[in-house]
Amino acid sequence: MTQRNEMLRDASFLIVGIVAFSLLIYRLVQLQVVEGPEYRAKSEDNRIRFVEMLAPRGVIRDRRGALLVSNRPSYTCYGIPRDLYKDSLAVERIGFALAGDPAEIREKQLQPFRSSFRPQRLRRDLPYPLLARFEEIRNEIPGSYLEIEPKRFYPGGIAPHAIGYVAEISDDELTKYPGLQSGDLVGKRGLERLYDKELRGVKGNRLSVVDVHGQEVETGAELGRIDPIPGKELWTTLDRDAQLLAESLLVDKIGAVVAMDVRTGGVVVLASAPTYDPDIFAGSVSANDWRMLLGDPDKPMLNRAVQTMYPPGSTIKPAMLVEGLNSGVITPSWGVSCPGSFTYGNRTFKCWKKGGHGYVDCVQSIAQSCDVFYYKLGLLLGVDGINRAFTRFHLGSPTGIDQTSEAAGLVPSREWYDKRYGPNGWSTGFLVSVSIGQGEMLATPLQLCAFTAAIAADGVWKQPYLVEGIFDPSTRVLEKRAQPEERPISDVPPHIMDFAQRGMTEVVWGPSGTARRQQDDSSRIAGKTGTAQNSHGDDHGWFICYGPIENPMYACCALVEFGKSGSGAAAPVAGDVLRYLIKRELYPALFEKKTESEDSPPQKKNVRQTEPVAVNVEEQE
């Protein structure tokens, strides 16, 4: 190699070195000066985490301040999809740790947000075994972390049909609730749904510093924080202990109990059986649990107190008597002789008492629940008079209570019959059955309770309601609900309403009353039994009542499906609930709890199974 070639080679290396060094300097300048701010921002994003903080949902209290629904702390696992997908095994490992099925975590929580830095909720309310399993691998899976969050808690599962429950928002609901996102919890039924906006509160957030494993460092070292605003409290009219009593009396039965304050319209008991545990919805309800609830033939999710309509049976006879006297088709001295049946046209309608009642007057027609008396009265009133008798007490239309999906009931009218059967397709014979609360006549337990309260209040119908006020814990301001609607039955004079009251008093206290077993001198009540015919099995039993007779405070209605009779199945239930409410108000010292806090979780009674009550044939109605 010549000297010239060596010089050319050295020059080439020098040029290559200068070019390479220049490119390096250029790239360094580009990274540091031109693109520096962008990379610094990305670096900050990697070490600073934006964390949403859930607002505690507002608690729900009974009329004395006892907790019906509250919140408890729970662990929720979150994952940042973009971080988790950097490691091909991370999703599988966290899936096994949390669910035992990686596909559930991958497909539902992570896959739709694969490239997102936004944390996704992987599992709520981690039980201790899963919490321990996750803690073992947490530092090995960057992008996963735990948050302590409030979880809805239903101590004792009280009044689930009235209160409702919370569950994850559905796709359809996302369009109805601006500002909410997938995975958020919203009220689904009852008060939880109707007052969801007030109960929900406002989310907060914080900026936290995290290490290379994605875990927060230096507890309390936050770059910014906006505290969540707790939801507002619901102060209800429910009485926790009376509600528990009603639910215990319905154990192993299908039916409902409703009790109202006669003076205000506030509903103190709203129970339906069978029941369900609202706690299973507070997180993510399993498909198996949901199938079991929906597939249960006894329909535990159905609010029978508000949503189910039944023939009211003889419970509506007081309304018929009031209309008969008020319209003048009968007089206070009117009576009938009951041989045990009544023939109209080519049909014979039986009285519930086979041997008949003999002669019965207006008061005894209710006390002994004589069907023949009301067959004849119904024909005298006609279709318009019967319709007026029931609609006067607002039967056949929703009460307007703060509940979801309230049924309207059914009171047939002339127009209804014409539409269903044609103008010439029905006759006055249809009215015979409706006159005793059978046939097409339908009502809910809530409607019959409000009807009973109106009789007790001398003809003033009050709209039932459940929420007394809404309390804001942030401002300490209580917003009282608007005064419930009162509808005085002004066209009925007191002396006519008195006949219904006297008849219902004789039901319990008269020598031939159908509910004589409900006599209790410590709390005198009046009532009316009823039996609803059922083509699918044993008849349903009804009992409506109010008390004390001299100064009514509360009204109560009980329905027991397949109970066979009102006096044997429903009267003991409604009677016990009503007497408890009366005694609790008249003698509060007897019910003071010396060991149990009002806020402690209540316990339902372990009700023993009793033998069926032997009911005299005179009391079968």
pLDDT of residue 77: 87
Share of the chain above pLDDT 90, in %: 58
> Between 542 and 76, where is the model more confident?
542
Contact 322, 497 (CB under 8 A): yes
What is the rounded CA–CA span in Å between residue 200 and residue 232? 8
Residue 429, C-beta contacts closer than 8 angstroms, at least 6 positions apart = 344, 345, 347
pLDDT of residue 606: 34
Cα three-residue angle 566-569-572, rounded to 5 degrees: 95
Residue range 110-125, pLDDT digits in tens: 655 655 677 888 888 8
Residue range 157-173, pLDDT digits in tens: 999 999 999 988 888 88
pLDDT of residue 80: 82
User: What is the CATH number that goes with domain 240-278+310-566?
Assistant: 3.40.710.10
Residue range 445-490, pLDDT digits in tens: 999 999 999 999 999 999 999 999 999 998 888 888 777 788 888 7
Q: Is the pLDDT of residue 600 over 50?
A: no
Say yes or no: do domains 50-236 and 240-278+310-566 share a fold: no
Q: Is the pLDDT of residue 594 over 90?
A: no
H or E element that contains 148: strand 144-153
What is the rounded CA–CA span in Å between residue 580 and residue 523? 9
Answer left, alpha or beta for residue 169, where phi above 0 means left and psi between -120 and 50 means alpha.
beta
User: What is the CATH number that goes with domain 50-236?
Assistant: 3.90.1310.10
pLDDT band at 615 (very low <50, low <70, confident <90, very high): very low
> Between 482 and 305, where is the model more confident?
305
Residue range 501-524, pLDDT digits in tens: 999 999 999 999 999 999 999 899
pLDDT band at 50 (very low <50, low <70, confident <90, very high): confident
Contact 246, 557 (CB under 8 A): no
Residue listed under structure tokens 């535990």? 300
pLDDT band at 88 (very low <50, low <70, confident <90, very high): low
What is the rounded CA–CA span in Å between residue 543 and residue 528? 6
Residue listed under structure tokens 């056949």? 396
What is the rounded CA–CA span in Å between residue 113 and residue 81? 6
Neighbouring CB atoms inside 10 A of 600's CB total: 13
pLDDT band at 152 (very low <50, low <70, confident <90, very high): very high
pLDDT of residue 126: 87
What is the rounded CA–CA span in Å between residue 314 and residue 320? 10
Hey, CA dihedral for 82, 85, 90, 95, is it positive or negative?
positive
Mean pLDDT, rounded, for 594-604: 45
- Per DSSP, the three-state class of 244 is helix
Residue range 315-364, pLDDT digits in tens: 999 999 999 999 999 999 999 999 999 999 889 999 999 999 999 999 99
pTM: 0.86
Q: Is the pLDDT of residue 82 over 80?
A: no
Neighbouring CB atoms inside 10 A of 13's CB total: 10
Residue 370 structure tokens: 């004589």
pLDDT of residue 40: 53
- Per domain, the residue ranges of the chain are 50-236, 240-278+310-566
CA dist 423 to 47, 413, 414, 427, 606, Å?
79, 12, 9, 9, 55
**Between β-strands 60-61 and 233-236, what pairing exists: parallel, antiparallel or unpaired?**
parallel
Identify the burial level of 344 via C-beta atoms within 10 angstroms of its C-beta, where 0-12 means exposed, 13-18 middle and 19 or more buried: middle
Give one DSSP letter per residue of 250-292, joined into a string: TTT--EEEEEEETTT-BEEEEEEES---GGGGSS---HHHHHH
Residue range 254-278, pLDDT digits in tens: 999 999 999 999 999 999 999 999 9
Q: Is the pLDDT of residue 571 over 50?
A: yes
Contact 568, 517 (CB under 8 A): no
What is the rounded CA–CA span in Å between residue 531 and residue 561? 10
pLDDT band at 616 (very low <50, low <70, confident <90, very high): very low
